[in-house]
Amino acid sequence: MARTIREKITTKDMRSSWGIRCVLPLSMLVATGLLCFGLAGLFFSSDVISFIEQGRIPDYLYFWRENLLFFFRANKAFYVFMTILSAFSLYACVLMWSGHRSGVSLYAVSKVGLLAVPVMFFSYRGLSYGDVMLAVLFIVYYYIYMLRHPYTAENNRNQIADQRNKDTEKPIQKKEN
23: pLDDT strictly greater than 80: yes
Give the pLDDT confidence of 38-79 residue by residue, as tens digits.
998 899 888 888 888 887 777 777 778 887 888 888 889 999
Give the HSE-up count for residue 154: Cα atoms under 13 Å, Cβ half-sphere: 2
Where are the strands (E) in the chain, listed by range? none
pTM of the entire predicted model: 0.73
CB 79, CB 45: distance < 8 Å: yes
- How buried is residue 116: exposed, middle or buried, by Cβ count under 10 Å (0-12/13-18/19+)? middle
Tens digit of each residue's pLDDT (9 = 90 or more) over 100-152: 888 889 999 999 999 999 999 888 877 888 889 999 999 999 888 888 877 65
The C-alpha angle with vertex 6 and arms to 11 and 155, in degrees rounded to 5, equals 10
